[in-house]
Amino acid sequence: MKSDLKILFYLKRNQTRKDGLSPVMGRIRIGKTVSQFSLKVEADAALWDIKAGRMIGKSNVALETNREINRINLLIHSRYKELKEVQVEVSARDVKNTMQGIASTQDTVLVHFQKMVDDASLRLDIDLRESSLAQYEYSYKWLKTFLRKKKNSSDIPFKALTYSFIEEYYHFLRVENKFKISTTVGYVVFFRKLVRNAVNQGILFRDPFDGFVPEERIREHKTLTRKELDKIMKFEIDPTLKRSISRDIFVFACFTGMAYIDIKHLTYDKIMEEEDGSKWIIAKRIKSGIKYQVKLMDIPLAIIEKYRGTAPNGKVFSVPQMKTVHRSLNYIAVRSNINKMIGFHQGRHTFASLITLSEGVPIETVSLMLGHRHIKTTQGYAELSLDKIAKDAKQLSKRLVGQFKLVDYYTI
């Protein structure tokens, strides 16, 4: 394909000296953009070939001048090619500035992405969990890896982002690295957040994500069954091991719906006793600041008493690191013949589905106990068990007895 880059070398004859030498100038033209510059060399006007843009003859002066012109010509083509790889539109001024070593003032993706990660780290343990911060970091890492491996680049200007770039990045994650849909979409979500920020800041005037629709995430069944929860609760563990506290706080989550970070920071002053003697946890979620309140049933009360006085600073539990808890839970799962990976967040799902919703607790109440802003979020947690569906269907059948009659209109 013919390049739209055109270069002209000419003499600035209005500055010809008495000895006949004139400054050599260059002109870059790309589309409708034009930029001129001086080569910082001079040539004899009498020996200048206007059409070739070079000196005539084989004198040392002519050869040296032509050698410098050829070097600049090659440099311009190289810089133009480099810019075309990272920019949608390249102007003559862009090429001249790059050729002359003038730094570009363009906003680049990874520089802004790193700032977004740094800003997120300042929110750690305030309204952001370690796992959420890790998502920021992994998203940055994989975009950086994509640029290095597929684009042979250390960064890219925002203005160079295109719809096809996003599709190629999605393919890189989903197909080449074989990530699950949920993982792929998760990384793309953080990239999209970065781009949306750039649009809001006026860095971009169009959103390259317009029209991009990723695959739908496959909804995973995250709740435990009654049988699986019973196996975990009955698993015998040496009480001196961290495996014991890991199992117990997970069970605590299954019966309270509390997240890992909220259990980690739970203090006794958040446990309230009502006039009827019932005890409640009333607090605000660390992640969102939304108020939640949940009644403490016998099992979580027993777990609180088991660990009373073992944690410092008024805390209820000395909670191990998340990776330690996950390792312990999956150790128990394997030895209890539970054929799925167990994550701490499943405790929250189990509370919503098995402990509350399946026992007839209205979803509005469940939403309040979980500290959700919207019912829609709670619906993502709620999953009715087959036992609950069968029980409801049986009750419905009883209520419908005698209410409807099938009339046979068939006649001989």
- The reply to whether 220 falls in a domain is no
Residues 272 and 347 placed together within one structural domain of the fold: yes
Same domain membership, residue 331 and residue 195: no
CB 9 within 8 A of CB 26: yes
Please check whether residues 281 and 387 belong to one and the same domain: yes
305 & 273 share domain? yes
> Rounded to 10 degrees, what is the CA torsion of 346, 349, 355, 359?
-150
Within-domain flag for 408: no
**Same-domain pairing of 374 and 237:** yes
Separation between Cα atoms, residue 405 and residue 199, nearest integer Å = 63
Residue 337 in any domain: the answer is yes
Q: What is the CATH number of the domain that holds 322?
A: 1.10.443.10
In this structure, the answer to whether residues 243 and 381 fall within a common structural domain is: yes
Q: Are residues 130 and 195 in the same domain?
A: yes
Encoded tokens for 410: 């068939």
- 412 in a domain, yes or no? no
Q: Is residue 31 part of a domain?
A: yes
Q: Which residues pair with 306 in a beta bridge?
A: none
Between CA 386 and CA 252 the distance in angstroms is: 24
Pair (240, 304) in one structural domain: yes
Phi and psi (nearest 5°) for 322? -55, -45
**C-beta contacts of 278-281 below 8 A and 24+ residues apart:** 281/256
Residue 380's CB: how many other CB atoms inside 10 A? 13
Residues 85 and 120 in one domain: no
Q: Are residues 93 and 113 in the same domain?
A: no
Q: Residues 352, 355, 358, CA angle at the centre, nearest 5°?
A: 80
Would 298 be classed as within a structural domain? Answer: yes
Spatial distance between the Cα atoms of 363 and 383, rounded to a whole number of angstroms: 11
pLDDT of res. 115: 92
> What pLDDT does residue 227 have?
93
Domain count, the chain: 3
Give the rounded distance of the alpha carbon of 51 from its chain centre. Answer: 55
Instruction: Flag whether 345 is in a domain.
Output: yes
CA-angle at 26, arms to 25 and 27, nearest 5°: 130
On whether both 187 and 253 belong to a single domain, the answer is no
- Measured CA to CA, the distance from residue 380 to residue 223 in angstroms comes to 11
- Per-residue confidence in pLDDT tens, the chain, 412 aa: 456 899 999 999 888 888 889 999 999 999 889 999 999 899 999 999 999 999 999 899 999 999 999 999 999 998 888 777 766 678 888 888 877 765 455 678 998 999 999 998 888 877 777 778 889 999 999 999 999 999 888 888 887 888 889 999 999 999 999 998 889 999 999 999 999 998 888 888 788 998 888 877 655 557 898 999 999 999 999 888 889 999 999 999 999 999 999 999 999 999 999 999 999 999 998 877 889 999 999 999 999 999 999 999 999 999 999 989 999 999 999 999 999 889 899 999 999 888 988 888 888 998 889 888 888 878 777 666 556 666 677 777 777 777 777 666 555 4
Is residue 384 one of the residues assigned to a domain? yes
* Same-domain status, 232 and 264: yes
Q: Show which of 145, 165, 200 is a domain's final residue.
A: 200
Closest CA to 147 of 97, 216, 86: 86
Query: So what's the pLDDT on residue 410?
Result: 55
User: CA-CA distance, 366 to 349, in Å (whole number)?
Assistant: 11
What whole-number distance in Å separates Cα of residue 342 and Cα of residue 330?
Answer: 6
CA distances (Å), origin 309, targets 242, 262, 268, 338 = 16, 19, 10, 33
What range does the domain containing 160 cover?
109-200
Q: Which residues, 6 or more positions from 280, have their beta carbon under 8 angstroms from its beta carbon?
A: 271, 272, 273, 274, 293, 294, 295, 296
The label of the residue with tokens 């994509």 reads 146
**SS3 sequence of the chain:** CCCCEEEEEEECHHHCCCCCEEEEEEEEEECCEEEEEEEEEEEEHHHEECCCCEECCCCHHHHHHHHHHHHHHHHHHHHHHHHHHHCCCCCHHHHHHHHCCCCCCCCEHHHHHHHHHHHHHCCECCCECHHHHHHHHHHHHHHHHHHHHHCCCCCCEHHHCCHHHHHHHHHHHHHHCCCCHHHHHHHHHHHHHHHHHHHHCCCCCCCCCCCCCCCCCCCCCCCCCHHHHHHHHHCCCCCCCHHHHHHHHHHHHHHHCCCHHHHHCCEHHHEEECCCCCEEEEEECCCCCCEEEEECCHHHHHHHHHCCCCCCCCECCCCCCHHHHHHHHHHHHHHCCCCCCCCCCHHHHHHHHHHHHHHCCCHHHHHHHHCCCCHHHHHHHCCCCHHHHHHHHHHHHHHHCCCCCCCCCCCC
